[in-house]
Homo-oligomer: A and B are copies of this chain.
């Protein structure tokens, strides 16, 4: 947040008026060749232009054309592990920022790294997602577009987030579990299948498929770049 002081604005206004009027005086002098007339015109211009500028500003203040309020929103991306949520979120956030929007990417992994105690039981996951929803709302209230990428397998906490936020845009990454498992290099899918990892949505615990997501994308057939572009063009209409 950069602020310019009142004094800077005052001095800048005065320096502009001085420069502008000197320009007028110069033009008039070149045409008319009379110093007295040139300076008289300049003297009147100084005051008259300030008045005209003020009236011009007040007139535009009343014109609504081309002025609109940007209401941010919360873009919630849900889907199985390795479905590509985080990558899409990163690309989308970058795209939003490059277009001059304030955007923040909240990612499940980064937040869990900060809070290693957060558990994986359905109760703990729901509580965690609700907290993230609250964080998203606070950012949204401050004019920030939130891109949240969380596995968020339960409808209950997703609906909490929908309710608590101002504008909620849910994107379901519908990539099938087999495709996600094939991409998995960390071996979490095979660990889950072997029962080493418990509560692993899509394998040994339920992923509740969103009933009415605002958008569904399957990354088996859509690249992360394409997904980010599709989401961007969809939410841009809402901004």
Contact = CB atoms under 8 A, between A and B. Distances in A.
A40 interface: yes
Contact of A127 (B4, B20, B117, B141): B117
Interface string A221-237: 00000000000000000
A1 B70 contact: yes
What's the dominant secondary structure at chain A's contact region? helix
In the A-B complex, the 8 residue pairs with the closest CB atoms:
A8-B66, A5-B66, A1-B143, A1-B70, A135-B135, A2-B69, A142-B144, A4-B67
Contacts of A24: 24, 41, 45
A37 B37 CA distance: 13
A146 B127 CA distance: 23
A211 interface: no
Contacts of A131: 115, 131
A15 interface: yes
A72 B66 CA distance: 31
26 contacts: A1-B70, A3-B67, A3-B69, A3-B70, A4-B66, A4-B67, A5-B68, A8-B67, A11-B65, A19-B56, A20-B53, A23-B52, A24-B41, A28-B41, A31-B37, A31-B40, A32-B37, A104-B141, A104-B142, A111-B134, A114-B134, A115-B127, A115-B130, A131-B131, A135-B135, A138-B138
- Taken together, the copies of this chain in the complex come to 2
Contacts of A109: none
Nearest to A5: B66
A224 to B, nearest CB: 24
Contacts of A31: 37, 40-41
Interface in A14-54: 15-16, 19-20, 23-24, 27-28, 31-32, 37, 40-41, 44-45, 48-49, 52-53
A53 B21 CA distance: 12
Given A24-B24, A115-B127, 18 more contacts: A1-B72, A1-B143, A2-B68, A4-B66, A4-B67, A5-B68, A8-B65, A8-B66, A8-B67, A9-B66, A20-B49, A31-B37, A104-B138, A106-B138, A114-B164, A115-B131, A115-B134, A131-B131
A53 B53 CA distance: 15
Interface of A: 1-5, 7-9, 11-12, 15-16, 19-20, 23-24, 27-28, 31-32, 37, 40-41, 44-45, 48-49, 52-53, 56, 60, 65-72, 102, 104, 106, 111, 114-115, 117, 127, 130-131, 134-135, 138-139, 141-144, 164
